[in-house]
Structure 1
Amino acid sequence: MEYNIKANSISKNGASIAIGEKNISFGITSESEVVFPNPAELFLGSFAACILKNIERFSNVMKFTYAGADIMVKATRTNAPPKMTDIVYELTIYSDDSRLNVNLLKKNIEKFGTIYNTIKLSCKISSTIRVIESSANTINE
């Protein structure tokens, strides 16, 4: 399997990534990073997207239903060398389904997540996962 994207930048301004039919703008200067995500935030966004995609994927495989999920991702960065050293995520799944096995879902995310597995080779990842009854709460959009 291969992935392809195209990106471009404008000097002293901003940049964008073309993925499929969408363009995602990002900041490359201190001014543009106020409005648009910086590359580190896009990196963490890819990590979050990987986890959310796998929840959807494994809801079918594990035969559970859920109304939605929220994820918060925090990272620690060192300056010398510049790299992410620790990533912590807090995942909330909104579900009333007793078939949702959180431990098995976490194992599947860790075993089959492409971005997850790539990142864990160079960075410590820790998590908190909780399930909230979807009928009793509002899902953040």
Structure 2
Amino acid sequence: MNYSIKATATSKNNASIRIKDTAINFGTTKDSAETLANPAELFLSSFSACILKNVERFSDLMHFEYNTTEITVSAIRLEKPPRMDHINYELKVYSQDQTLNINLLKKNIEKFGTIYNTVSQCCTIVGDVKKISE
């Protein structure tokens, strides 16, 4: 499988990524540091999207239903060399389904997530997956 995106930036201004029909604006200047996502936040967003996509994928394969899922991700960045060193996530799956095996879901996310597996090669990932009965 191959992937392709296009990103552009204007001098002394901000930038945008085009992916299919999606445009994602992000900050490249000090003026946008508090209002637009930065590259590190986009990186963590991609990690989050991978996990959320896999919840949907495995809801079909594992035959469970859920209403909503949300993820919170935090990371520690090293300065020299600048890189992500540790990622922590908490995934909440809101579901009434008694067949939801939360441990198996976590195992599948960690085994089959493309972004998850790529990131795990370069930094520590610690995660907690919780079922929230509504």
TM-score, length basis structure 2? 0.98
Corresponding residue for residue 35 of structure 2: 35
Paired amino acid for 2:79: N
SS of residue paired to 2:34: helix
1:53 matches 2:43? no
Aligned to 1:124: 124
Instruction: Please state how far the C-alpha of 1:34 moved relative to its aligned partner.
Output: 1.7
Instruction: Please tell me the residue identity of whatever aligns with 1:11.
Output: S
User: In structure 2, how many angstroms separate the alpha carbons of the residues matched to 1:22 and 1:93?
Assistant: 26
Higher mean C-alpha deviation, range 96-105 or range 28-37: 28-37
Q: How does 1:40-119 map to 2 (within 5 A)?
A: 40-119=40-119
CA distance in 1, matches of 2:71, 2:86: 16
Matches within 5 A, 1:13-32: 13-32=13-32
Aligned counterparts of 1:48 and 1:16: Cα–Cα separation in 2: 20
Instruction: Determine the C-alpha separation between the residues in 2 that align with 1:61 and 1:67.
Output: 16
Amino acid in structure 2 at the alignment position of 1:130: K
Contact in 2 for aligned 1:55/1:105 (Cα 8 Å): yes
CA contact (8 A) 1:26 1:33 kept: no
Q: What one-letter code is carried by the residue in structure 1 that aligns with 2:7?
A: A
Q: Which residue does the alignment assign to 1:138?
A: none
Q: For residue 130 of structure 2, what is the amino acid of its counterpart?
A: R
1:32 Cα deviation from its structure 2 partner: 1.6
Moved over 4 A (4+): none
Calculate the TM-score normalised by the size of structure 1.
0.93
State, as a whole percentage, how many aligned pairs show the same letter. Answer: 55
Superposition deviation, residue 35 in structure 1: 1.4
How many residue pairs align between the two structures? 134
- 2:59 partner letter: S
